[in-house]
Structure 1
């Protein structure tokens, strides 16, 4: 039998090491928000419940002390029933866990920050050749809040982080009186700005997260499909520019390509006429992704008046064409500059971000 508590301790230690090494890449506001989310997760506080400010403050103080102790430590191996695995050996670790109803995830996110989690498996199915898991309660996680991850032929959708993202938008909804994509998205699930935070509302948000899980799966399927088409050079290219504007651009480009792919999220939304999912797609389209893809905003505004999915599909195709054009342009420059990362980053910032987007 697996010692679950020991397993949680090992994974949580790696989570803390990752946070200790990378917390400085978040903005102050972003870090505080993530810390509050992490406190809520570790202490199993409901999303609708107010956090105890004094206890949270003390916990953050102690967590910062812990980070100081761990910032120079190496990520530890994971030992299960006398078998030891490297922390990114998710296939073999999950083979050990398959009879426990648990799933382990590990990968690299933005700024190449390692991310780890251990969660209960809610469901498992094969979609398009990919083993897709939807997870529920999380026993260990780091500051990262990715709702979905792709690892080789395995896709994870994490309901807990997705619920937290949706709850943040629900709180935003309650502060807004104007008609918006946020209002539209929640209205498709029977939630309005008049609803109050409560256990019942949290249950509704959980239902939304579960309903949206397959939509997120298709983002990851789109990503995998496009990487196969473009080749390994693109996957390596995505790691070239950690902590730079160039990284934000290429990762946003990757997401746009994934979403607009014939196998991606938007195609799935259109095929199944998921109005709520379309609304949330617009809600979560922020930052560089929003700058890159204004066509979908215009199409959504028309859609809310005419309810004609052809406008969304037209925008999807235009977005894909634009994204692929930039990918081809960047990989061409990569050949010219012979993998000179600084030169390519400068090209992205000067010839694309400044020239094409005035950024």
Structure 2
């Protein structure tokens, strides 16, 4: 399958290796080993529910690091597409214009700390939202060690079903160690992982990809409310800091109030509502204790009115907080960190 795209897949995977070679040192040792174990599983086609043999991973890791050593000084290679010559590997729109009709989707962009991210996958679905295009990717044919479930690149949003499925498995595995009665445990209780792990993961991924899509549509709307280009310029300019984490949480909360939460309530899928709150970051919990309390009220009574009310209130509130933070940054630049932190904390 995809034999006609063999050379393209190999070139993209080589670019992935170059990015990995340059940025593997960004992780702590523990995170690095976990990510490489997961990457080995993907590369070898091992099911998430199957055991990975540590000795095999160790031997493969040694070989992979040798490949990286040979590539870390190399340039990213252009992509050769039939009939249209060679293209810069970051020319997403041009490359996808050629590949989407063949049932493929490609993405090249930058993640945290300006880390290049590449992937090629089978294209499952295209969703148009305002001036944005959401592309849902299925089976991945080339990828980096870093594989976020969703990415926003200009006017295109990429949603990766395989990456989401792996993330869900990590959540399942993590929760099994604790077994706590918490939102994540309540979400997982809706799926029969004991009977068939793979089937349960498929069912959960099918539900949660709708939540990811809802959040990404919310991100589009949040960008429109805040001024996406100016907001991204600010985030790229800020050093790793508490303010950076807070601002990302502000935008996430705005996106969720604009679209994710209303969509979750409209769908009425209890498992997805539990999962949303189980996946809520520590910073979002800190900034939005009323939302956490609204969830607890819903869990105890089945009444979602407080969640709906928070979403309605939060649309204006978090947009205002975000705009004020952006205005301070545009005036003071990097010297505004402490002021931004204080402003966001006060809400």
Please report how far the alpha carbon of residue 352 of structure 1 lies from its aligned counterpart in structure 2 after TM superposition: 5.4
Partner-residue secondary structure (3-state), 1:15: helix
**Aligned counterpart in structure 2 of residue 111 of structure 1, from 110, 113, 117:** 113
TM norm structure 1: 0.87
Query: Residue 197 of structure 2 corresponds to which residue in structure 1?
Result: 201
Alignment of 1:1-359 (within 5 A): 3-81=4-82, 83-128=85-130, 130-188=132-190, 190-191=191-192, 195=194, 200-231=196-227, 232-261=229-258, 264-337=259-332, 340-341=333-334, 343-348=335-340, 351=342
Change (3 A) 1:344 1:66: farther
The Cα offsets for residues 72-128 of structure 1, whole Å up to 9 and x where unpaired, read as 333222111261111121111112112321111122212221111111122334345
Unaligned segments of structure 1, at least 5 residues: none
Bigger share in helix: 2
Structure 2: which 5+ runs fail to align? none
Normalised to the residue count of structure 2, the TM-score between the two structures is 0.90
Q: What is the aligned length?
A: 344
Pairwise CA distance, 1:2:
7.8
Alpha-carbon contact 1:117-1:141 (below 8 Å) kept: yes
1:227-266 deviations in whole A, cap 9, x for unaligned? 12222322211211254433323222222221222xx211
**Cα gap change, 1:97/1:271 in structure 2, threshold over 3 Å: closer, same or farther?**
same
**1:306 and 1:157 mapped to 2: Cα distance?**
34
What is the distance in 2 between the residues matched to 1:329 and 1:10?
44
Task: Please state whether the residue corresponding to 1:103 is helix, strand or coil.
Answer: strand
Distance 1:233 1:154, change over 3 A: closer
Large movers: runs of 4+ above 6 Å: none
Q: For the residues of structure 1 that align with 2:297 and 2:311, how far apart are their CA atoms?
A: 14
- Kept in 1, the 8 Å contact 2:9–2:120? The answer is yes
Paired with 1:10 and 1:259, the residues of 2 have a C-alpha distance of 37
Offset at 1:205?
0.5
3-state SS in 1 of match to 2:42: helix
CA RMSD after TM alignment? 2.4
Specify whether residues 158 and 233 from structure 1 end up closer, same or farther in structure 2 by C-alpha distance, changes over 3 A only: same
- Superposition deviation, residue 291 in structure 1: 2.5
Preserved CA contact (<8 Å) 1:227 1:235:
no
Call closer, same or farther: CA 1:335–1:150 in 2, change over 3 Å. Answer: closer
